[in-house]
Copies of this chain bind each other. A is one copy, B any other.
Amino acid sequence: MYTVLAITCHPDDMEDTCAGTLLKCKARGDRVVVCHASSGNMGHEVIMPDELKKMRLQEAQDAGEMAGFEILYGGFDDLEIYESNKEAKDKLVKIIRQVNPDFIITHAPNDYMPDHVAVSKLVFDASFAATVPHYEPQIEGSARLVPIYYMDTCGSVDFNPTDYVDITDYIDKKMEMLACHKSQVEWLANHTNVDYHEKIRTLAKARGYQCGAEYAEVYQMCQVYLKGTTKRYLP
């Protein structure tokens, strides 16, 4: 089957927006690799960044193990991710060459906060650069030009999907994975007054109504030359 690489930003963004899809990929036999670009070190009002970073990378690891995903860390800290930046691009070139995926999932370019936007553009840039043999040849591995699927925006705002994935059989596992992110679930509740579990379940249910599934996750394919495809890689 395929190797799928999800490059998401903070350690709970994958669980939030594409975990059901990845679980379904895993179930059909795909190799599933998730790169959490950033450490999530700013995601708490009381716990200090250095301590939180360790906690959240561990939480990400726990959630990944529960699902059988390989979990990588992109090397960024929160609010310190910049587009149009060679060092940042090369961090993702390294990840992409290491994994050599058949398709990539990442944030939509119009998502709600600057780190997500930056990761989306850096993936666009790095996924091309990674395929060029003479580009930083000391970064090991290799990669091919493959489709990029942009996942739903946070809150499903301003995102009209073209591809739906039925995740009904995986919604419970997705919620269990989300529960691993103890620090984040708690902080978001305080920072935004939102029950994180109820939010994620509700949004997946709302997307489900749009495509005749009980729960769904949704995508738009990045439509550019050499990244188009006649196959549906999504499960």
Known contacts A157-B210, A160-B158: A132-B227 contact under CB 8 Å: no
Please tell me if the beta carbons of B166 and A230 are within 8 angstroms of each other in the complex.
Answer: yes
Q: Is the CB of B84 within 8 A of A118?
A: yes
Q: Is A39 an interface residue (CB 8 A)?
A: no
Interface-located stretch among A60-68, A74-82, A95-103, A178-186: A74-82
Chain A, residues 127-150, CB within 8 Å of chain B (1/0): the string is 011001111000000000100000
The reply to whether B164 and A229 form a contact with Cβ atoms under 8 Å apart is yes
Closest to A167 in B: B230
Which one, B135, B156, B192, B232, contacts A206 given CB within 8 A? B156
Number of residues on chain A facing chain B (CB within 8 A): 64
Q: How far is the CA of A39 from the CA of B229 in the complex (A)?
A: 30
Assess whether B42 is in contact with A134, with CB atoms less than 8 Å apart: yes
- A206-230 residues at the B interface, CB under 8 angstroms: 206, 209-213, 216, 221, 223-230
CB distance B135 to A224 under 8 Å?
A: no
Q: Is the pair B192, A211 in contact by a Cβ cutoff of 8 Å? A: no
Partner of A155 from B84, B85, B158, B209 at Cβ < 8 Å: B209
Task: Please judge, given known A-B contacts A225-B154, A225-B157, A229-B212, whether A114 and B128 are in contact too, CB under 8 Å.
Answer: yes
Q: Which residues of B contact A58 (CB under 8 A)?
A: none
- Assess whether B224 is in contact with A211, with CB atoms less than 8 Å apart: no
Residue A86, interface by CB 8 Å: yes
Sample of 9 further A-B pairs with CB below 8 A, known A48-B134, A80-B86, A114-B125: A79-B129, A79-B132, A114-B128, A155-B209, A157-B223, A164-B228, A192-B226, A202-B209, A211-B228
